[in-house]
Amino acid sequence: MNTPILQMRGITKTFPGVKALQDVTLDVNRGEVHAICGENGAGKSTLMKVLSGVYPHSSFDGEILFENEPGNFSSITDSEKRGIVIIHQELALSPYLSIAENIYLGNEQAKNGWVDWRKTNLEAAKLLARVGLSENPVTPVQHISVGKQQLVEIAKALSKEVKLLILDEPTAALNDEDSGHLLDLILHLKGQGVTSIIISHKLNEIRKVADAVTIIRDGKTIETLRLDEGQITQERIIRGMVGRDLESLYPDRDPKIGEEVLRIQDWSVRHPQDHTRMVVSNASLNVRKGEVVGLAGLMGAGRTELAMSVFGRTYGTATSGKVLKHGKEINTSTVSDAIGHGIAYATEDRKLYGLNLIEDIKRNVSLAALRKLVKNGWVDKNEETVVANGYRKSMNIKAPSVAAITGKLSGGNQQKVVLSKWMFSDPDVLILDEPTRGIDVGAKYEIYTIIAKLAAEGKAVIVISSELPELLGICDRIYTLSAGLVTGEVPIAQASQENLMHLMTKEKE
C-alpha cells in the first residue's frame, strides 16, 4: 500500500546570503494527500519550486526521486511531462479566454497547426465534469468566481495527466463553501489515484484531508506526522510550526504607556473585486501612547487589509466602523487626511509601494511631509539635505550620501529610509507592516531598536508581523486575527507562540 511516489532527500537551496532550505527530506506515498505546514517564510514554497523545476536541478543540492527515477528537472515543463503539476496561489489563468482555452493553453488541441475547437470544448467539458464544475467550457474565465477558477486550474492539471498535484495555499482566496468543495474534490481525486501535496496553514482543512503532514520550520524538516499512526493533532502541528527558541535578539524596553491614542472600532472591509467576501469583519483594537501593539495572523487573516483600509482606504471597500483619535472620531478616507491626523503607514512591500527607487534618499525622506520644507513657496533644498542627513546619521543608513539612489541600497537601509520618511511626517501613530521582511539579522536588530525608541518618544506603534518571535520580542500587547476576525487580545506577559498560534488558527464558530 505505502509505496513512495516521491522522495526528496537532503534538499539544500541557498540564495545569496540566505539558506532557504537546509537538508530537507520529504516522502510522499502514492495515492495520499500530503500536507506541508509551516509559518510564512519557512521555506514551503521554495521547496515546491525546487520540486517542480522552477529552480532547475543545478541550482540546489540533494536528490529527487519521482516514481523511483531521478527527477532532475530543469524547468517546469520537464516536471509536467512526468506528471507533476503545481497550482500557485495566484491563479495563472487568462481572464478573457474561455474555460476551455485556458485548460488547453500551451497544450492546444490542434490539427496541423489549426485549433480543433470541437475537440477542445468536448474534452474540456469532460474534464469539467471530473472536477464537478457545471459551467459551459466557452464561458470566459473572468465571468466565473475565484472558487470556480481554482477548479479550472485543477481541470487544466488533469488535462496534463497529473500524477502529483501540488496546491499552494489553494483555499487562501476562497470562501468557506468553495473551500469545502475544493477539499472534497481533492479527496475525490485521491480516489482516482491522484496524489496531492497541499500547502496550508488551516489546521481544520489539514485534519479533513491529509493522510500525512510534513512540518517545515526555518528551512528545515521538523517531522512528518502520519494519520494512520494517530499523529496528526492540532497541538503537535502547532508545536512543530513554532517550536524554536526565542533568542535575545531584541532590545530591552521599559515601556511607559500613557492614554489611548488611536482606536479602531467595528471596522469591516470588503474585498475590492469580490464584494461578497468580507476581508475584515468588525475588527476593534486600540493603541496607547508609548505602546507597541502587535497584529498577528497568518496569510489572508486581513492584517494588511485592515491597516491599509484605515490608512486612506487604500485597500478594498470599508463598509462600517470608526477611527477615533484621543476619543474623537476622525476621517481617514484619503491618505493625506490620515497623514494630517498623525497616522503613518509603512507598507510591507517597500519596493512596490514604499519607495521611489529611481530617486535619491533625501527626496524619498521628504516626500510625505514635503510641505514642512516649503519656504516662500519653494522647497528649501538645503533644509531638506540637513533633515535627510540627520536621519542618515540617527537611523544609521549606510550610504555614501543622501544623494544616493534608494534602489541601490540594501533591504535594511531601504527600510530605514521608509521609516525616516514617516518619522519626518511626525506622526502620533505608526503602523509598520512587516518592518523586517527580507532584512538580515543585524539590520533587524537596528529596526527593533528604532521601534523601541519611537515608543519611548511617546509614539503609538502598531507592528504587523508574520514572525511570532518578533512580536513577542518587541510588543506590549498582541492582537490576533484569523479570517478577518480579531480572535484575541493578549498582553505580552501572557503571550506565547503556542497560544497565539491557537488564536491565529481559530475558526469561526
Partner 1 sequence: MSALRESLGFLTSRLRQVGIFVALILIVLLFQGLTGGILLEPQNVTNLVVQNSYILILAIGMVMVIIAGHIDLSVGSVAGFIGAVAGVMIVHWGWPWWAAIPACLLVGALVGAWQGYWIAYVGIPAFIVTLAGMLIFRGLTLITLKNQQITPFPAELRALGGGFLPDISGGTSALEWLTVILGVGATVALLIQALKERRIRKKFDLESEPLMWFVIKTAFTAFLMLIITFLLASYRGTPIVLIVLAGLVIVYTALMNNSVFGRHTYAIGGNLHAAELSGVKTKAVTFRLFVNMGVLAALAGLVFTARLNSAQPAGGTGFELDSIAAAFIGGAAVTGGIGTVAGAMIGGLIMGVLNNGMSILGLGTDYQQLIKGLVLLLAVGFDIFNKNRSGGGSSLGKRFKLKTTPPATEPAAPANERPLTVAAGSGQGRPERNS
Q: Taking the complex as a whole, how short is the minimal distance between the CB of residue 390 and partner 1, in angstroms?
A: 11
CA distances from 80 to 2, 66, 181 (A): 24, 12, 25
Instruction: Give the nearer residue to partner 1 in terms of CB position, either 99 or 338.
Output: 338
Beta bridge partners of 330: 323
Residue with cell 550610504: 399
* Residue 276 near residue 285, CB atoms below 8 Å: no
* Residue 103 near residue 152, CB atoms below 8 Å: yes
Q: How far apart are CA 190 and CA 88, in angstroms?
A: 20
Residue 474 is placed in which grid cell?
518587541
Instruction: Give the nearer residue to partner 1 in terms of CB position, either 230 or 377.
Output: 377
Residue with cell 518587541: 474
Instruction: Give the nearer residue to partner 1 in terms of CB position, either 58 or 112.
Output: 58
Residue 145 is placed in which grid cell?
468566481
Angle between helices 411-424 and 441-456 (to 10 degrees): 10
Instruction: Give the nearer residue to partner 1 in terms of CB position, either 152 or 417.
Output: 417
Q: Taking the complex as a whole, how short is the minimal distance between the CB of residue 139 and partner 1, in angstroms?
A: 23
Instruction: Give the nearer residue to partner 1 in terms of CB position, either 72 or 317.
Output: 317
Q: Taking the complex as a whole, how short is the minimal distance between the CB of residue 162 and partner 1, in angstroms?
A: 23
Q: Taking the complex as a whole, how short is the minimal distance between the CB of residue 464 and partner 1, in angstroms?
A: 10
Instruction: Give the nearer residue to partner 1 in terms of CB position, either 100 or 439.
Output: 439
Instruction: Give the nearer residue to partner 1 in terms of CB position, either 105 or 367.
Output: 367
β pairing state of 4-15 and 18-29: antiparallel
Instruction: Give the nearer residue to partner 1 in terms of CB position, either 187 or 403.
Output: 403
β pairing state of 18-29 and 317-325: unpaired
Nearest alpha carbon to residue 157 among 120, 193, 131: 131
Instruction: Give the nearer residue to partner 1 in terms of CB position, either 255 or 390.
Output: 390
Nearest alpha carbon to residue 250 among 438, 463, 39, 418: 463
Nearest alpha carbon to residue 80 among 8, 152, 193, 164: 164
Q: Taking the complex as a whole, how short is the minimal distance between the CB of residue 305 and partner 1, in angstroms?
A: 5
Q: Taking the complex as a whole, how short is the minimal distance between the CB of residue 130 and partner 1, in angstroms?
A: 28
Nearest alpha carbon to residue 343 among 451, 460, 427: 427
Instruction: Give the nearer residue to partner 1 in terms of CB position, either 251 or 411.
Output: 411
Count of alpha carbons within 13 Å of 217, Cβ hemisphere only?
A: 16
**In 10 A of CB 91, how many CB atoms?**
16
Q: Taking the complex as a whole, how short is the minimal distance between the CB of residue 292 and partner 1, in angstroms?
A: 22
Instruction: Give the nearer residue to partner 1 in terms of CB position, either 236 or 341.
Output: 341
Q: Taking the complex as a whole, how short is the minimal distance between the CB of residue 341 and partner 1, in angstroms?
A: 11
Residue 130, SS3? helix
Q: Taking the complex as a whole, how short is the minimal distance between the CB of residue 9 and partner 1, in angstroms?
A: 20
Q: How far apart are CA 180 and CA 111, in angstroms?
A: 39
Q: Taking the complex as a whole, how short is the minimal distance between the CB of residue 443 and partner 1, in angstroms?
A: 12
* Residue 222 near residue 243, CB atoms below 8 Å: yes
Residue 21, SS3? strand
Nearest alpha carbon to residue 474 among 432, 439, 438: 432
Q: Taking the complex as a whole, how short is the minimal distance between the CB of residue 241 and partner 1, in angstroms?
A: 14
Q: Taking the complex as a whole, how short is the minimal distance between the CB of residue 379 and partner 1, in angstroms?
A: 5
CA distances from 84 to 28, 51, 71, 77, 163 (A): 13, 9, 10, 9, 6
Nearest alpha carbon to residue 261 among 286, 285, 283, 294: 286
Instruction: Give the nearer residue to partner 1 in terms of CB position, either 127 or 306.
Output: 306
Q: How far apart are CA 124 and CA 152, in angstroms?
A: 9
Q: How far apart are CA 358 and CA 364, in angstroms?
A: 10
